[in-house]
Structure 1
Amino acid sequence: MELRQHALQVLCLTDPEQKSAAALDMQAQAATFLIATDAVIKAPEAQALPGRPERPELRHHTAVARRSPATAEGRAVLIHAIAHIEFNAINLALDAIWRFPGMPEQFYLDWLRVAAEEAKHFRLLRDHLRQHLGHDYGDFSAHQGLWSMCEKTAHDITARMALVPRTLEARGLDATPLIQHKLRSVGTSDALAAVAILDIILAEEVGHVAIGNHWYGWLCARQGLDPVAHYAELVARHEAPRPKPPLNSAARRAAGFTEAELLWLQQG
């Protein structure tokens, strides 16, 4: 089988269970795939990307429910929101695989690994919703901010690497410890179980952001671009959000951010 075409097929799946299972299966069979690195692959005309279920209802981010994690319902809303981010992250990784030709084989294998790990995260959170909180994915509204940036950067791989993994996903490195602190303060068994899941997610998301940093740096070197200056230009061009303090500087350094990049981010 050919990896990039198969990634597009999985991206088109609408059922979250099928999509997450297929992403994990692709990673398990990674060694058996051929990779058409230079092929230009076209999305099916009748298929809206990404494939998504009818629920959750998608709203503007200002209209999405927010409730205190002090209540079980509030924790369900919180875990649902994180599960939705992870589901979108599966789509983002699959999209990077099929959309961009002309990269080294390792690029496609890196994003295959990310897709599988995001699928694992989604399943952990969905199982938590079902087993501990009496809800399921789709029970609450959600927003589509991650995929919106994916669409903005569909024709520029350098912008994609800059503004999805090392901008939007890197925000999770900053936010997760704060969420964990709130859940620990609640102290219920379901809240502490969620903290443990977030430990797994945070450790692996450092690796995902590192992949984005690596390929952004690789692309800048290939084009003779200064990574910090070009990043600032891309942020302005695509109206990408600046990170909210405090930054998780240790996690960002582990993910490959340089001191110059951290300084620029902190000046925002």
Structure 2
Amino acid sequence: MGINEKFKEKNTVISFEIFPPKETSSLNTVYNTVDALAHLHPDYISVTYGAGGTSKNKTVEISSIIKNKYNIDSLAHLTCISSCKNEIDEILFNLQENNINNVLALRGDIPHDVVFSIPNPIEFNYSSDLISYVKSKGDFCVAAACYPEGHLDSPTKESDWENLQYKINLGTDFLISQLFFENKYFYQLNDHLKEKGINTPLQAGIMPITNKAQINKIISLCGAKLPKRYENIINKFGDSPQALQDAGIAYATEQIIDLLANGVDGIHIYTMNKPEIAKQIVRNISSVVNSINNIY
């Protein structure tokens, strides 16, 4: 099933993101994560891969386990800036062979430590190039990323949102937002799309910050603004891991409840491969989600 069909079946969709271990690490740890998340009955699980496609084979393997062992739809991340068309073709073939037809099409970051592997000339400059290419290659449901606060490489938020319209026009089936810590930014993006007559399903990406060391790295990578009240949480509880985890889960839960109350199409939780955190959030929101989806 294409994941886009789930948005027609449910008022709100709940999903998780996981990432493969490093090339030198065992897959057993992530399989334990998948097993724990599967028991939470998500609508789908997305699987990333590293810069330069360093774990793309593991992405296909993990996505296959999710789909074919647990019967949960999987969404395979696919980045293109460091790939040629032959490599993309091979990945798409492997996905189809494993009964996977859902892809998150991303440009990806240029991996500075392996610049020599970048195709010359570059065959995919932007995610829009990849979206168009994947759509031409078979019956794939293609998701795209969107940025409530604008992409770091875009001169303005507005220009980034105009580019998002272009990606949608190429056949994007649904959208997943970058993480954000203030819901107003998500609502601004959602309102912009509705004003343009765009009704493509839009999921809110939420990451519970549970580790002080994560903060600066995450913000530098995605450009999300950290509100003062979140800074206060970090300053107050940053040196107490359990307190910070509890506060981070509470903050993420508050965000999600507000989004659900305002009719969001779905919630995509960036789990950081920590199923215990996802479990707590799902427990916190389960009655609300069931009410929205008319499950009693």
What range is the shorter-chain TM-score in? under 0.3
User: TM (normalized to structure 1)?
Assistant: 0.27
Task: Looking at secondary structure, tell me which structure has more strand per residue.
Answer: 2
Give the number of the structure whose residues are more often helix, by fraction.
Answer: 1
| TM-score, normalisation: structure 2 | 0.25
